[in-house]
Amino acid sequence: MHELIRKAAPNLKRYFHKGTPAGEAGMRMKMIGYGKLHYATRSGETVEWPVIGVALQKNYISVYVAVTRADAPIVPTYAGRLGEKRVGRNNFSFERFDDLNAAGVSSLVAETGRIFASDPENPIRYMQGM
């Protein structure tokens, strides 16, 4: 997955997202992040979040995507073309990398990278609007 993301969106730098501490705004899960943003929550707290995050869950791997296209989450527009087990508003899940449609995932990642490069505020507007 790392190689696919690096090739499709080289502008999104990889880092370890440690999750937010209990009692603070944001999600607690640890994940590998690609691209980093900071957004303010309704309470005024600043939260760090990846543009693309890859998280190991108990039974599957989830990929979170924080950009939008035409003010709507981008992931559902790729539903059925990723080889995913399930798809949500801003994420999709799979059990094994070999199950994925690499071309579909690569297209999603490349578009995400282009959107973020041309409009770094895109995911911030999305995260603040949730």
pLDDT digits (tens, 9 = 90+) for 61-107: 999 999 999 889 999 999 999 999 999 999 999 999 999 999 999 99
C-beta of residue 51 within 8 angstroms of C-beta of residue 35: yes
pLDDT at position 86, please? 95
pLDDT at position 26, please? 66
pLDDT at position 46, please? 79
| The residue to which tokens 């603070």 are assigned | 24
Query: Which structure tokens are listed for 61?
Result: 């791997």
CA–CA gap between residue 28 and residue 23 (Å, rounded): 10
pLDDT at position 1, please? 95
pLDDT digits (tens, 9 = 90+) for 10-35: 999 999 988 877 776 667 788 999 99
Query: Which structure tokens are listed for 23?
Result: 């009692």
For residue 42, count other CB atoms closer than 10 A to its CB. 8
pLDDT at position 128, please? 67
The better pLDDT of the pair 54, 37 is held by: 54
